[in-house]
Amino acid sequence: MAAETTPQPNPTRFLWLFALAWAGCSIAYVPFLTLLLPLRILSLAGPNSVRVLGLITFCGAIAASTGNILFGWLSDRTGTRRPWIAAGLVLSSLLLLTAPLLQNLTALLLVVMLWQLALNMMLGPLWAWAGDMVPREKTGVVGGFMSFAPSAGALAGVLVTIPGLASFDQRFLLIAMMVAASVVPILLVVRSTSQPEPQSATPRKIVPVASSSVAIMWLARLLLQIAEATLFAYLLLYFISIDPKVAENHVAVLFGCVLVVAVPLALLTGRWADRHHRPIQPLILLAAVGALGLVALAAASTLTAASIAYVAFGVATNAFLSLHSGQTLRVLPSPKHRGRDLGLFNLTNTIPSLIMPWLTILLVPRHGFSALFLLLSLLAICSAAMLFKIRRLV
């Protein structure tokens, strides 16, 4: 069922509320997947933590991929996004609260998979909602606003791991409360769920070019996301391999600092890309800087050197991913299938979680993290090269 095409009366208000809600989605998964889940697995699996974390990440990614496509498609069919977002918020929060109560790895695996489904019931329709409400010529700004999300998730990780603030179990409740406070406002304030027609000013002759660019945009993001997902899941274990005494709060603070810097960078470059009609050029540069950061990570031998290298990689890739998410709305072929198509594009976020555990398992035990990071740097270089080819076509 197609949605009505009532225009959004206040796009600026929507963008700010969307940025808050998108940040809430990040708060829902960043502290859990980067800090709390690895620590929980470490307590249950001991020396097998790397392999167990890889297995749970793999299965969770399958659930996330399925959920994002399914619920994006359902929100297209029903012509509304809000009920799916609300249901995903409730279910994902309830499942999150059960995680610290589990005492075996099988139960933890099942809950993580169900939680991923529920989380993507919220994520998929929310991303599509932004495409419904924001015109094509503002996709750079959308990407800039989406850059708040990773920093919010990292700062939430800093908050919940402050020593003495909350017990391990209470950290999950704090996360659920922050997510609700972030997502509920857009559900209450924004009433329209319109799906506007494509901009009439867009020349029809560029449609075949944009359609061919979809595959390149998809693959370029996938390559860089493999690198980002690896650091996302294994950064704590990587730092422990360099300095066994490093605390999880130190890693959370590093996440926060990196992502806070990425926000103004993404906002400024997103506005620049819209103003100068060059949506791809910033992505090329950021992918190249990410590759250099990975090379530096491979060469690092001290905690300080590794931290500096991660700053370069983290700032560049997080700005890249936020801006790329906005520019994805530019190349999608049909607003009637936006939720479904974004679900398919979201595979670039979840497929890396199916790939990187096996890369890590194959390379790290024998050759260490350095070999892994060098391979990932080659992927980032390929991403930049592919985007360079379409820089004038999108």
What would the pLDDT profile of 112-126 be if each residue is shown by its tens digit? 999 999 999 999 999
- Is the pLDDT reported for residue 186 higher than 90? yes
| Domain range enclosing 240 | 11-194+204-389
Whole-number pLDDT of residue 174: 94
Would you tell me how many other CB atoms lie within 10 Å of the CB of residue 314? 25
pLDDT, tens digit, for every residue of 338-349? 888 888 888 888
Specify if 3 maps to a domain: no
Specify if 64 maps to a domain: yes
Burial track 347-372 (b if 16+ CB lie within 10 A, e otherwise): bbbbbbbbbbbebbeebbeeeebbeb
Whole-number pLDDT of residue 119: 96
pLDDT, tens digit, for every residue of 268-279? 998 898 888 888
Specify if 94 maps to a domain: yes
Specify if 342 maps to a domain: yes
Length of the chain: 394
pLDDT, tens digit, for every residue of 6-45? 444 467 788 889 999 999 999 999 889 888 888 888 888 8
Centroid of chain to Cα 353: 12
Specify if 280 maps to a domain: yes
* Spatial contact of 339 and 76, defined as CB atoms under 8 Å apart: yes
pLDDT, tens digit, for every residue of 43-93? 888 778 878 887 888 888 889 889 999 999 999 889 889 999 999 999 999
Burial track 265-281 (b if 16+ CB lie within 10 A, e otherwise): bbbebbeebbeeebbbb
pTM exceeds 0.75, yes or no: yes
- How would you class 201 by CB atoms within 10 Å of its CB: exposed for 0-12, middle for 13-18, buried for 19 or more? exposed
Please compute the mean of the pLDDT values over residues 352-380 and round it to a whole number. 88
CATH assignment at residue 67: 1.20.1250.20
- Is the pLDDT reported for residue 3 higher than 50? no
Alpha-carbon distance values, 144 to 243, 267, 272 (Å): 35, 4, 10
Structure tokens that stand for 209 in this block: 């070019």
What is the dihedral angle through the alpha carbons of 368, 371, 372, 373, rounded to the nearest 10 degrees?
110
Specify if 346 maps to a domain: yes
Overall domain count for the chain:
1
pLDDT, tens digit, for every residue of 226-264? 999 888 778 888 888 888 888 767 777 787 788 778 889
Structure tokens that stand for 57 in this block: 């990440």
- Is the pLDDT reported for residue 353 higher than 60? yes
Specify if 6 maps to a domain: no
Number of H helices, E strands in the chain: 14, 0
Specify if 199 maps to a domain: no
